[in-house]
Structures are given as C-alpha cells and as structure tokens.
Chain A
Amino acid sequence: MKKGYFGQWGGAFIPEVLYATFAQLNTEYEKARADAAFWQEYVELMGNYSCRPTPLTYAENLSNHFGGARIYIKREDLNHTGAHKANNVMGQGLLVKRMGKKRVIAETGAGQHGVATATMAARFGFDCTVYMGEEDVARQRPNVFWMEKLGATVVPVTSGSRTLKDAMNEAFRDWVSSMDDTHYVIGTVCGPHPFPEMVAWFQSIIGIEAHKQILQQFGRLPSRVYACVGGGSNAMGIFQGFLDTPEVELVGVEAGGEGIDTDRHASRMTGDRASAGVAQGYKTMFLQNPEGQMLDTHSIAAGLDYVGVSPILADLGEQGRVRFEAATDKEVVDALALSMRKEGLIPALESSHGFVQAFKEAPTMAGDEAIIINMSGRGDKDIFTVAHAFDDPSWKKFIVDRGNEYSK
C-alpha cells in the first residue's frame, strides 16, 4: 500500500511549498518512532506533568442503574488541561524540540486542543498562535481566556462556517509562510500524512493503559469499547489497545446534532450525507454536496463539529472493525446529567456522546460482561453551554448580575 494510506483513505494532498517541510517532519517522526528512548521520554513526561496513567474507574452506580454490563470509564479528563488532547500535544512538542523550531500554531474547535497547545508552548518556551472559528470563540469563551493567559495569540477565523475546518484552513495559510521556524500541531488524527499516523501513535498511550487496567480490575477483556468521534483522536487512542483482539467490539459515536435525518449534524460514518472526498490535505468521508463543496455541520459539542473524520477510522469502518453510531444533542445532555448524578463525573459534551451509546447498550448485555467508555475530557469547560441547555434559572441570574456589574 502507498505510504500514508489506510485502505483507500489518507494520503498527503499538500501544496508544493510544504513539500520540504513534510519531508523533514516525516524524517523526524520516523526517527522518533524507531527510538525507544523517545517513547520513554514521552511516557515519563506525561507521568510527571500530566497525571498519567489516568485511572480506569469502575462506575458501580451506573452499572447497577442499567443492570447489565459492568461499566468502566477511562479518565482522560484527569490529564493536565482536562482532556486527551494533552497526549498528542506534548508528544508533538518533544518532536518540535528535536526539529529545532521555535513557534507552534494550532487549530481548535472546543478550545481544548488550543489550551493544550498553549500549555505545551509555555512549558517548552515556544511562541504560540491558535486559530479558532468565530463561532467557537463565542461558545467556548473560557478556553479563549486561558489560551491568552498562557501566552498564546488567539486568532478568530471569520471565513467559511467559522468552525473547526475553517480554523484548520487558516492554520495551513499561516504555515505556508512560516514553516521555516514553525510547526503546525494538528489536533487530531486527520490532515496529510504523517499526522493521522503520528497523532494516533501519541494517543495510543490511552489504549495501552486501558488494556492493562481492565485485565487487572476485571480479569478479562471488555466486550465493547465506546468513544466519541470528532476527528477521531481519542477514539483511535483507546481503540488501539484492543484492535488486535477481535472479540472486543469498538464503537465510535458521532455527533447526531438535531438528528442524522436533518441537515444539522456532523455524522460522517452514519447517515447518508457524507461521501469520499479530498480536503484539508487528506482523503476521507466528508460532509459535502455532490459537487464537492463542504456542508455546514452542527453539534452541541464544538469538538465534534467537523466535516471530516480520520482516514484510519474511515478504513476501520469500511472493514467493519469499528461500528459507528450517532448521539443527538438532547441525548447527550441527558447522559451528562445522569453521569453527574450517579457518579459525580462531569464528562465533556464531546465525551458524553460515547456515554449515550454505552447507556443504550449496557442494559442489553450480561452482568458478567464489561464495557469501557473513553471519557475524553472534563465538562466544566462547557459550563456556559451546559447551563444554557439545562435552562438553569439561578445561573442565568448570575450571568445577568455579573453583566450588569461589568457594564456599570
């Protein structure tokens, strides 16, 4: 198979001006990958700086509530900066040091990847610019605040649909001028080769840990593993721990938005609005019209609000190794409410998509089976969106009062 391809998906559809940049990146990545000391350095950094290994929590109350499979939750929310994004970012940071570059740029949707990149840049002493769709800047304001305080420049992107894909386009536009001293830290398992493979490698730390932990705690492999799928990095991360064990079913949950039969969702592998295409440097299933123009997407979770999906997951879906489902905005808010009440866990709206599907299936499974849900991030960043979705009166009053105070 051609390098950088997964079945028919992937590739590196890059403008010629980036040819040399990618050649260097490929060389450094392959060197790092062949060097056991690099991985060792990475694991130690994540242990010392970011709470790794993250726990695998047995959710006893939720398990009893549904009365079926035993539910285990992989706690990526406990990473520094509150999501699995830190794994990828710190790994790429180590690579940037090896390449001798001084500046990093990133796209961000929810702002989690932006915050993680800004954090990494602060720690390693890089300059940092984060591109973020104007719509996401508005709905994820707290993360913008943190990025700026961490020393990053946040650039709101006003072109296109003003969300993640547009932020990615802008980051590419920066990179084609700045590549001599700048690395583009792509936030998920998408984009031109080697990004999908490289980001999947850094995220595989989730699955390596989870595999070991479930054997220790449950004594056997789980029947199913659930993860939400935006670009697909947290899903690829945990799935890689179980890819070689076909008895473990892998379930990716996409953003069903207002329903996959409406035009307000971001489901590429479920529903019938996506088709094969080439954009943002790679070939995958894109939400696009028949002429190849990308469609507007919608999700309550900014991090899942994206037109494409990892070429690796497109391939695993096509092979039947990963089953794809979708969760609606409303189901997501309900699953989040239940997780808080029953377990005291606050999954991110993104992560809650995985919870929805697990909650649907757990009751139909036997009591001696286990499932794992990847809790990709914590939900407190979503307080504005969640409080709005709950229509919480005392929160609204607080916002109004604070607003009045500031406008005095």
Chain B
Amino acid sequence: MVRKSMELQTELQQRLKKKNILLMTHLVLGYPSLDTNKEVIEQMALNGVDCIELQIPFSEPIADGPVILKANQQSLEAGITVEQCFAFAAEMAAKYPDVCFLFMTYYNIVFKYGEAAFLRRTRDVGLVGTIIPDLPPEEGEQYFALSKELELAPITFFTPTSTAERMTEVAQQGEGFVYCVARRGVTGKQTAIDESLDSYLEQCRQATGLPLAVGFGISNRDDIAMLTGKADMAVIGTATIRLVDEQGAAAVGPFIAELAGAA
C-alpha cells in the first residue's frame, strides 16, 4: 500500500507519474444519509479515486446550484451535525488510506467551531486539506497561515474572470492544488469543454506550479478525456449526487470505473 505523503502537492505529483489525470469526487455529508455516503465512498475508493471532498452542510451554500443546495438542506433537516461529520471523516480516512480526503464547507462552519480548533481536528482525523469557497485569501490570512503550520492544504481558486495578476497572487497563498472553476456560475450546470477552456487552462498553468484541478460541470468520460494533458485532476461534483439520487449508491462504482478508464 502506498503511504500517503503528508504533503498533498507532492502526493498528487507522485500519482501523476503513473496516471495522466487524477480524479476528485465530492459528496454532501448526510445526504441522503451517512450510510449511503459510506457505500458511495467505498465504491469511489475501490475504483481509484484520488481525492474526495466531504462537504459539511451549511444552511446558506451560496456557491452551490440547486442539486447540492437541496442536498445541504435535506441533510440539515435530517439533523446532521458538524460533530457527526468529523466522526465520519475520521472513520473514512482511517479506512481508505489511499484516498486523500478534504473538507469542503462554508466559512461560518469553521468560524463557529473556531478556526484553530477546526483545523487541528481536521488534521487529527487524517484529512489533508480544506476547500472554503467564501473565504478569499484577503479574509483568511490567519486561516491560511495556520493551515500551513499544520501541513493542511488550504485550497485556492482560479476562475475565468481572474486576471493573470490575480491568479499569481492567489496561488501564492494556496497549497496542495488550485481549484480551477471551469466557468462562471454555481455548481451543477454542464460546462462546454472548448477552446476558450483550453486557453483559460493555459493561463492557469502559467500562473502556478501547483497541480490544477478542474471542476464545475464535469460529468462524463468525454469531458475527462478532453481535460487530459491540460489539467492534473478532474473534479466530479453534482454528477455523482444526481447518479445516487437516480440509481442508488451501487451505480457509483461502474460510473467511476468508466471515468478512470478515460483518464
């Protein structure tokens, strides 16, 4: 078994020696239930997913589209707590040491828990980083500093509206990889994989030496084949949630296997 390196960037770069493109998947904790989450993660892990984003639900997920919004709400209605999310993450990280787990959530969840307490516990339960879409580097100075101290990767974002200057600035703050948002808008809509995406990714590449993860609207084999060679990791978000909604957890394995085959 490959030991996961403490440093996410190094770990991803090592994996990239053996694979053309890595896969990161996403799920909302407690939706539709933690038991289903478990089955889904097992299928993802067995089929070679590299990273998994575990989203801690928040009542106001402004960067998310209808599917993930609904998942957040239903999970909260069913009574999910931050405490349960930590316990669940600990169990998964221990069970699947080959997968790099990250927390994704909104800043208020971290703020209410206490930045330092949240980050220490995130590290202690075996996660490798955090993705907080509403915490820009300007507001997260302490958060970014403490993450680095704890060897957790604070993930930063590039977007199609970012200037070259802004990309350089943002990338200097982040670690692990840069999450390149493939298009404007919220999660869940299909993204056109075309020439403008190519030139955007070229611009991203010039701004940083960190691996590039591309997400928002990546949902099938073709998308991943198109990204190969241009990005380092493809992020599958809403597509798996939809799949579980429609066909149940058992459908996830074959879906991921197919995507991994394209990669």
Contact = CB atoms under 8 A, between A and B. Distances in A.
A179 B134 contact: no
B97 to A, nearest CB: 29
A293 B63 contact: no
Given A176-B184, A277-B112, A16 B60 contact: no
Contacts of B107: 13, 278
Contacts of A15: 62-63, 133-134, 136, 157
Contacts, number: 107
Contact of A16 (B58, B59, B159, B185): B159
A176 B136 contact: no
Given A17-B184, A160-B59, A281 B76 contact: no
Interface in B96-149: 106-109, 111-113, 133-136, 138-139
B145 to A, nearest CB: 16
A170 B116 CA distance: 31
Interface residues of B, number: 41
A179 B184 CA distance: 9
B161 A173 contact: no
Nearest to A292: B112
B213 to A, nearest CB: 14
B156 to A, nearest CB: 8
Interface string A147-179: 000000000000110000100010011001111
A155 to B, nearest CB: 13
Nearest to A169: B62
Contact of B112 (A173, A180, A291): A291
Interface in A1-49: 11-21
B158 interface: yes
B136 A293 contact: no
Contacts of B160: 17
A167 to B, nearest CB: 12
Interface string B59-78: 11111011001100100100
Contacts of B166: 19-20
A13 B136 contact: yes
B172 interface: no
Residue among A178, A279, A288 facing the most chain B CB atoms (10 A cut-off): A279
Contact of B109 (A12, A173, A292): A292
Interface in A251-298: 275-281, 286, 288, 290-294
B111 A277 contact: yes
Contacts of B63: 15, 176
Contacts of B6: none
A291 B66 CA distance: 23
Nearest to B81: A291
B184 A177 contact: yes
Contacts of B62: 15, 169, 172-173, 280-281
B162 interface: yes
B16 interface: no
Contacts of A277: 108, 111-112
Given A278-B107, A280-B60, A21 B139 contact: no
Contacts of B185: 173, 176-177
Given A165-B60, A169-B60, A279-B108, A16 B82 contact: no
Contacts of A293: 58-59, 76
Contact of B161 (A13, A19, A278, A290): A19
B186 interface: yes
Interface string A287-329: 0101111100000000000000000000000000000000000
Interface string B144-187: 00000000000011111111001000100000000001001110
11 contacts: A14-B136, A16-B136, A20-B162, A20-B166, A21-B161, A277-B111, A277-B112, A278-B134, A279-B108, A293-B58, A294-B59
Interface of A: 11-21, 159-160, 165, 169, 172-173, 176-180, 275-281, 286, 288, 290-294
Interface of B: 58-63, 65-66, 69-70, 73, 76, 81-82, 106-109, 111-113, 133-136, 138-139, 156-163, 166, 170, 181, 184-186
Given A173-B65, A176-B63, A294-B59, 13 more contacts: A11-B139, A12-B138, A159-B70, A160-B73, A165-B60, A169-B60, A173-B62, A176-B186, A177-B184, A177-B186, A286-B108, A288-B112, A291-B81
